[in-house]
């Protein structure tokens, strides 16, 4: 009875574990379904190492089981001291050389791929984006296009895009599992890699380096659009001017409050390019109403926005906006939200690409 219960318990445990783990990973947040060049290369390396390791595992297991069955001490067998093989040159050579060969088989392609993916010698012929990591959000400066945005990174499909990574504060790591490998983001040196997406869509990005209390909320999206849409989006961004926006009276009041309540000190709304050296303190809000998420991870509803404006701490602990501006009444927060939701330069948005 007891053995039966034990087995059942193990079965239930394993079953629920498999069930829970099957919920992990989603199509656009997994390195196992590559949708870009870097992820493809990584996948090939994953397959190679898995094959090599499975081979080692099987060989060891087969020998182990054979030895276990054949040389098992049966009842009545005499106790013997097996033949001692220490110092056996052939044996030692074999078990040193085989692992070295296996490691070389895995290491050579890995090292080549690493250098290949970090090669930026032809970057001038492609799109270059300066990416700055901040606690807990990402900023993007499009070098030649002279536009800037935060959180959602727009890139054209089937095109090499170079990201030049640096951080404004602590270490972060830039990772879009479906599109590319991850790369550390350091304060002193720029790390460069390229992304090349094969399919249009919205891909999930994660900060992969513990960087503070809201590290796990430092999400971002890569929005991959067609080449024409990309050109259109760049143009829309370049031409967007909040000064000439036709705002209703409530949003107009919101704009004034945005200035009065010192939001402008940290947030730009005119897509200025920061590459020249000055990095913004808060996310660029030029295309805020086009964002796929609020603060990187929340649904971009007005309700969430009002809550964020009044109490960002409750949504993202340790964020650098908390306490940096005067308290706002419900009415004031509402008006500012109305204004921010008008900042919509383009029809080309993450929403139009999400399935």
Chain residues that interact with Cu ion, rule: CB under 5 A? 172, 207, 211, 218
Nearest approach in angstroms of CB 336 to ligand HEC is: 5
Question: Applying CB under 6 A, what is the total number of residues that bind ligand HEC?
Answer: 30
Q: Is 336 in the site for ligand HEC (CB under 6 A)?
A: yes
Q: Is 171 in the site for ligand HEC (CB under 6 A)?
A: no
Q: Is 291 in the site for ligand HEC (CB under 6 A)?
A: yes
Q: Is 129 in the site for ligand HEC (CB under 6 A)?
A: no
Return the residue of 16, 50, 265, 301 that touches ligand HEC, per CB under 6 A.
Answer: 265
Return the residue of 181, 201, 205, 283 that touches ligand HEC, per CB under 6 A.
Answer: 283
The residue assigned the tokens 């008006």 is: 335
Dihedral (Cα; 165, 167, 172, 177), 10-degree rounding: -30
Q: Is 136 in the site for ligand HEC (CB under 6 A)?
A: yes
Token digits of residue 9: 């318990």
Q: Is 325 in the site for ligand HEC (CB under 6 A)?
A: yes
Token digits of residue 171: 């270490």
Name the residue nearer to ligand HEC (CB basis): 237 or 336: 336
Return the residue of 28, 319, 346, 349 that touches ligand HEC, per CB under 6 A.
Answer: 319
Return the residue of 205, 212, 282, 345 that touches ligand HEC, per CB under 6 A.
Answer: 282
Calculate the CA 153 to chain-centre distance.
11
Return the residue of 263, 268, 306, 343 that touches ligand HEC, per CB under 6 A.
Answer: 263
Select from 21-29, 100-108, 178-186, 254-262 the region that touches ligand HEC (CB under 6 A). Answer: 254-262
Q: Is 320 in the site for ligand HEC (CB under 6 A)?
A: yes
The entry of Cu ion, ligand HEC, none near residue 106 (CB within 5 to 8 angstroms by kind) is none
Q: Is 221 in the site for ligand HEC (CB under 6 A)?
A: no
Classify 352 as helix, strand or coil. Answer: coil
Name the residue nearer to ligand HEC (CB basis): 16 or 265: 265
Q: Which of residues 138-167 bind ligand HEC (CB under 6 A)?
A: 150-151
Return the residue of 289, 324, 341, 352 that touches ligand HEC, per CB under 6 A.
Answer: 324
Select from 12-20, 24-32, 270-278, 315-323 the region that touches ligand HEC (CB under 6 A). Answer: 315-323
Name the residue nearer to Cu ion (CB basis): 218 or 343: 218
The entry of ligand HEC, Cu ion, none near residue 164 (CB within 5 to 8 angstroms by kind) is none
3-state SS, the chain, equals CHHHHHHHHHHHHHHHHHHHHHCCCCCCCCCCCCCEHHHHHHHHHHHHHHHHHHHHHHHHHHHHHHHHHHCCCCCCCCCCCCCCCCCCHHHHHHHHHHHHHHHHHHHHHHHHHHHHHCCCCCHHHCEEEEEEEECCEEEEEECCCCEEEECEEEEECCCCEEEEEEECCCCEEEECCCCCCCEEECCCCCEEEEECECCCEEEEEEECCCCCCCHHHCCEEEEEECHHHHHHHHHHHHHCCHHHCCCCHHHHHHHHHHHHCCHHHCCCCCCCCCCCCCCCCCCCCCCHHHCCCECCCECCCHHHHHHHHHCHHHHCCCCCCCCCCCCCCHHHHHHHHHHHCCCCCCCCCCCCCCC
Max intra-chain CA distance, the chain: 99
The entry of ligand HEC, Cu ion, none near residue 172 (CB within 5 to 8 angstroms by kind) is Cu ion
- Helix or strand (DSSP H, E) at 71: none
Q: Is 131 in the site for ligand HEC (CB under 6 A)?
A: no
Contact residues toward ligand HEC (CB under 6 A) are 136-137, 150-151, 214, 258, 261-263, 265-267, 281-283, 291, 294-296, 308-309, 316, 319-321, 324-325, 328, 336, 340
């Amino acid at each position: 009875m007891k053995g039966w219960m034990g087995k059942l318990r193990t079965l239930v445990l394993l079953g629920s574990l498999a069930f829970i783990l099957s919920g992990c990973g989603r199509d656009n947040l997994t390195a196992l379904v590559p949708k870009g060049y870097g992820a493809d290369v990584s996948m090939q390396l994953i397959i190679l190492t898995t094959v090599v390791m499975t081979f080692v595992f099987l060989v060891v297991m087969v020998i182990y089981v054979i030895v276990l069955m054949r040389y098992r001490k049966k009842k009545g067998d005499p106790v013997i001291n097996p033949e001692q093989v220490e110092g056996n040159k052939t044996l030692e050579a074999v078990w040193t050389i085989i692992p070295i060969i296996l490691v070389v088989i895995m290491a050579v392609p890995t090292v080549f791929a690493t250098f290949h993916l970090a090669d930026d010698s032809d970057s001038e012929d492609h799109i270059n984006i300066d990416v700055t990591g901040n606690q807990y959000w990402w900023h993007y400066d499009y070098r030649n296009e002279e536009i800037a945005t935060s959180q959602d990174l727009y890139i054209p499909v089937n095109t090499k895009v170079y990201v030049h990574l640096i951080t404004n504060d602590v270490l972060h790591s830039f990772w879009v599992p479906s599109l590319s490998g991850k790369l550390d983001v350091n304060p002193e040196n720029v790390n460069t890699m390229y992304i090349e997406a094969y399919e249009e869509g919205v891909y999930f990005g994660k900060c992969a380096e513990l960087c503070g209390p809201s590290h796990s909320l430092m999400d971002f999206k890569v929005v991959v659009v067609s080449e024409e849409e990309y050109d259109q989006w760049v143009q829309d961004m370049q031409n967007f001017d909040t000064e000439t926006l036709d705002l209703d009276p409530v949003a107009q009041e919101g704009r004034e409050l945005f200035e009065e309540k010192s939001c402008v000190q940290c947030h730009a709304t005119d897509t200025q390019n920061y590459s020249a050296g000055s990095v913004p303190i808060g996310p660029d809000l030029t295309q805020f109403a086009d964002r796929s998420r609020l603060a990187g991870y929340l649904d971009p509803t007005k309700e969430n926005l009002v809550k964020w404006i009044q109490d960002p701490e409750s949504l993202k602990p340790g964020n650098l906006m908390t306490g940096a501006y005067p308290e706002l009444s419900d009415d004031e927060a509402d008006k500012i939200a109305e204004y921010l939701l008008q900042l919509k330069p383009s029809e080309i948005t993450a929403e139009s690409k999400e399935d």
